[in-house]
Structure 1
Amino acid sequence: MLGVRSIMGASAAAAVGVVSVATVAKTVEEKFPAPKFSLQAERFDLSTMQGRFAKQLTNCDPSLLLAREQEIRAAEGLLRDFSEGKAANASNSQLWSARKLVEATVQPDTKEIIPRPFRMSGYVPFNGPVCVAMMASQSTPALLFWNWVNQSQNALVNYFNRNASSPTSNETLFISYSAAVGAALTMAFGLSQFISRRYSPARAAQLMKFVAFPSSVVASCSNCYIMRRPEIESGISILDKDGNTLADGARSSVAANKAVMETVLSRGILQIPVFFIPPLLMSIPPFSAASAAVAIPLTTMFTIASFGFGLPSTVAIFPQVGSVKVEELEPELREAVGSQPDGTVYYNKGL
């Protein structure tokens, strides 16, 4: 009976957490006056941390999962009409809402609708419970299983949100997935074995909650780096302050390396609110003294909330459009880009 109550409590707590994230996302969006609609300009000021957080939080809004295919295709049609000058009756708010829905649900290159579990808006409700299961695991087999599920989920999110206009080889995808799973399982197995042999069963059960944190940091960082390492080898485009490509499309490995490192770092930092803060809170009285029927729902709610607000926060740490000094570029590119304001060029960091 305790198990049933715990599961029901955890399910209710997860629902509360998801609804809270969706509610805050809508509240934050409403705090920012919508500028005149544009298909190119951004809804928020991405030069500020506040604006970047607002954009990412609205992208992660779980309520976007409720939209049906007909609604998504209708939003695409409205945007198409706007581009052809046929949407005179659509309000500014309707146009921004349509753009947000399309960007959150449609793969920009293939134009296919992304399955719900693998959208950014689906990350919290679908991956959050997996994270809870990882922290709740008190045996090595269970810990290894949920680490595998977590990295498989992450790999599929990366795949469906990839840049499909520049295809990643199946070999790269397989290596990235294998490296992430291997790193996570190796770290989880090693730490769980060390803890079980070094500490008493009661103390080991407490410490096992923290094993998910280092294993996820290593796995997420290695997954991201391996997936995007080809960018460093081939380089990425460099832009002027208006977003125009410089040097006749020549690519910079220096800019690519900076973009990849910023993304890897943000992926590592994301694991703190997801896998470190919730078990830390649960180790503090009075939460530490709670029964399983209470502790599991509390852990679930803390994790969902931390995930929901931690994800947009960490993605927003670095600007989507990064900058690098001309003098730091490859010698052959310095002359090609010519004189730039403040001696700076820019690049698209990616996610």
Structure 2
Amino acid sequence: MDANLRFWRAEGQSFFQRFLLWADALDPLLLLKSSDEIRRARLLIQNSGKTLSEPIQNDQTKQAFLLSLSSVHPDTDKIIPVLFRPPAFLPICLPLVIVSSLQLQAKQTFFSQFVFHTYTTGFSLLNGNGTTKAEEYSVQQKQVFCGLGAISYAACIGALPLVFMNQYMLKSSLVHLVVRQLLPAPLLGLMSAFTVAMVRSPEFENGIEVMDRNGKVVGVSQKAGEKAVKETALSRAVLFGTTFFLPAVLMHFVERAKLAKTPRALASVRMLVITSVLAGMLPASLSMFPQCGQIKRAELELEILSSTEETELFYNRGI
């Protein structure tokens, strides 16, 4: 079992523990670390002989683990491209979310959401489970095609309500409220979950590796792959659904209370609210489910049941 997964098992048992760890691991300053520094951190972890049976007290070791969590894929042991590491998610997604939340025309909405879903889908692809058992080329090819299809479909769905409203000249206040205020949050949340499920579909079709508590791989499970993808898709839906819904509600009260008297002040408040909500929801959504996922032996396939007596097995959920 990779050091990252061992760390999550030991230090991330509760939601609160995972939240605090993600708050540290999402520090954008970690993006400034070089590949050599990341490799040295991994070497320090491997040479420390730490069993992780008790909380880490050494600050240097803890910082090495945080750098490893934020930069290295636990399945492939490869350094993740800098733009798709977890600390880069907030700085890159924030302007995309702000642009997508503006009251734009249909074409502009389609383009902004196409760019948004392109990045989040690439992030899901590079941070998913890396132990899918099938011919590597065919899996990657399918993920690319599924990802492109999902991105295009999600962007079309995001712009469709505006197209419908403009096509039929629906200008009533109720239609405006539904299309521009109520629909964007659930649509973006659902489409974000949809793109995760599509790009990571090989995981529940071909299965992912499951391990015992000692880190030994005992088999490949489609059930574990399905559970990993479902949990990640749900967390992504909660992240962006809340990030669109909550600022819209808060801004409604700000406008009614006339706390921002000019359009420029109102825009500044909107950006501040979206930034605050996204910054808080990102570690919260990542903490909803353990990174080192657990699945009961009874829920797995028959061939795995016969190969181990462990009552609980583990897998990498991905991000």
Q: Which segment is superposed worse, 214-223 or 158-167?
A: 158-167
Residue 7 of structure 2 aligns to a residue whose secondary structure is: coil
Aligned residue for 1:238? 210
Partner of 1:177: 147
1:124 counterpart residue number: 90
Structure 1: distance between partners of 2:182 and 2:39? 44
Give the Cα separation in 2 of the matches to 1:174 and 1:79.
Answer: 30
Q: Which runs of 4+ in 1 moved over 6 A?
A: none
Bigger shift: 105-114 or 178-187?
105-114
The worse-fitting range, judged by mean Cα deviation, of 256-265 and 233-242 is: 233-242
Tell me, in whole angstroms, the C-alpha distance in 2 between the residues paired with 1:260 and 1:68.
Answer: 30
| 2:254 aligned with 1:302 | no
Q: What is the alpha-carbon distance in structure 1 between the residues aligned to residue 307 and residue 128 of structure 2?
A: 30
Whether the 8 Å contact between 1:274 and 1:303 is mirrored in structure 2 is yes
Equivalence for 2:162: 192
* Aligned residue number for residue 42 of structure 1: 7
Task: Specify the alignment match of 2:61 in structure 1.
Answer: 95
Counterpart of 1:277, as a letter, is: L
Gap regions ≥5 residues in structure 2: 49-56
2:80 and 2:217 map into 1 onto residues whose CA distance is 30
Is it true that 1:57 corresponds to 2:26 in the alignment? Answer: no
- Shift in alpha-carbon separation, 1:278–1:317, aligned structure 2, 3 A: same
TM-score (norm 1): 0.73
Equivalent residue, structure 2, for 1:11: none
**Secondary structure of the equivalent of 2:290?**
coil
The alignment partner of 1:198 has SS state of coil
* Root mean square deviation of aligned Cα: 3.1
The equivalent residue for 1:317 is 288
Partner of 1:227: 199
Q: Secondary structure at the match of 1:346?
A: strand
Q: Deviations over 1:176-235 (max 9, x none)?
A: 322332222221222113444333379738852554323322322221112222121222
8 A Cα contact 2:19 2:283, kept in partner: yes
CA contact (8 A) 2:200 2:229 kept: yes
Q: 1:253 aligns with which of 214, 219, 222?
A: 222
- How many pairs were matched up? 300
Change (3 A) 1:251 1:164: closer
Q: Is the 8 A contact 2:71 2:80 kept in 1?
A: yes
TM superposition shift of 1:288: 6.8
| Per-residue deviation, residues 60-84 of structure 1 (Å, max 9, x unmatched) | 222323x253xx5235335535645
46 and 228 in structure 1: CA distance in 2 versus 1, 3 angstrom threshold: same
Structure 1 residue aligned with 2:81: 114
One-letter amino acid matched to 2:61:
L
- Relative distance call for 1:203 and 1:214 in structure 2 (3 A) is same
Partner of 2:117: 151
Residue 283 (structure 1) aligned with residue 240 (structure 2): no
**Which of 290, 297, 300 in structure 2 is aligned with 1:326?**
297
TM-superposed CA distance for 1:150, in Å, is: 0.3
Give 2:188's aligned residue. 216
CA gap 1:296/1:176 in 2 versus in 1, 3 angstroms: farther
Unmatched 5+ stretches in structure 1: 1-37, 86-90
Q: Which amino acid aligns with 2:205?
A: E
1:76 paired residue number: 39
